Structure 1
């Protein structure tokens, strides 16, 4: 019986990265300091949740340009940090996340709330039922009879 193995197109690339940079290169990519973001639909709205622990509302900006929602968070140096000598400081990072919104969103009614380290952005969407339309499929006989009616009316 023949052995079937699954081909991984990135296995060679991963091996090359480990050879050149060691395991620290790939582990650094996996442990990115980028905030986690969830996007889902609920109650006629698109909801974007971004986890921004220890950020204050004045350190976070939410912008919409066309269909692109941009979340930017930039931590300012705080007075309580002046007596600390950091070896590694990931909490002072700046983050930016972009989300492409569906075509039918009401960007004038966007609401944002930052509480317990979670930024929740709610973007209303029009009722999907109102845009649904049933299309009738005509047979060749129906098309011919419609054309005859048009000819008679002219």
Structure 2
């Protein structure tokens, strides 16, 4: 009877789920690799976000500003049917989501976006920040 005892591992299913999700492609949006996103500043006057979205068309992509974050989403749905037999032969959905917290000096009303050859480029103008100013320290008053 002692040979039938099995040690219980409460985290075994969690490890299996994590392995399936990350290694099995659960978070992949395209076969083999995730789309890249480059975020950089241009002369401290604009924040540039470039999302490389091959296989997406402009109508598949949306750009929003939500509570101080730039939200980029892309979704493509493909469906191939055999019209003679009236059933779906192949159906797939590919999606991408990226949220980027905007800096305080971002001018949200002037954000622009372009989509050219699978590259989404979002330009976020930055307001000029006030230069630091020196505060003079006055002498302490003598006790009376």
Q: Does the CA-based 8 Å contact 2:41-2:47 persist in structure 1?
A: yes
Which residue of structure 1 lines up, in the alignment, with residue 4 of structure 2?
A: none
Q: Does the CA-based 8 Å contact 2:77-2:94 persist in structure 1?
A: no
Going from structure 1 to structure 2, the CA distance change for 1:28 and 1:132 (only over 3 Å counts) comes to farther
Which residue of structure 2 lines up, in the alignment, with residue 41 of structure 1?
A: 41
Secondary structure at the counterpart of residue 136 of structure 1: coil
Which residue of structure 1 lines up, in the alignment, with residue 28 of structure 2?
A: 32
Q: Which has the higher strand share?
A: 2
Secondary structure at the counterpart of residue 106 of structure 2: coil
Secondary structure at the counterpart of residue 77 of structure 2: coil
Please list every run of 5 or more consecutive structure 1 residues that lacks an aligned counterpart in the other structure: 1-12, 149-154
Please list every run of 5 or more consecutive structure 2 residues that lacks an aligned counterpart in the other structure: 1-10, 83-87
Which residue of structure 2 lines up, in the alignment, with residue 55 of structure 1?
A: 56
RMSD: 3.3
Length-normalised TM-score, structure 1: 0.62
Which residue of structure 1 lines up, in the alignment, with residue 113 of structure 2?
A: 112
Length-normalised TM-score, structure 2: 0.66
Q: What is the alpha-carbon distance in structure 2 between the residues aligned to residue 117 and residue 50 of structure 1?
A: 8
2:132 is the counterpart of 1:133: yes
Runs of 4+ aligned residues of structure 1 deviating over 6 Å after TM superposition are none
Secondary structure at the counterpart of residue 77 of structure 1: strand
Going from structure 1 to structure 2, the CA distance change for 1:55 and 1:26 (only over 3 Å counts) comes to closer
Question: How many residues end up aligned between the 2 structures?
Answer: 122
Q: Compute the displacement of 1:42 (Å).
A: 0.6
Which residue of structure 1 lines up, in the alignment, with residue 75 of structure 2?
A: 74
Q: Which has the higher helix share?
A: 1
Give the alignment partner of residue 144 of structure 1, picking from 138, 141, 144: 141
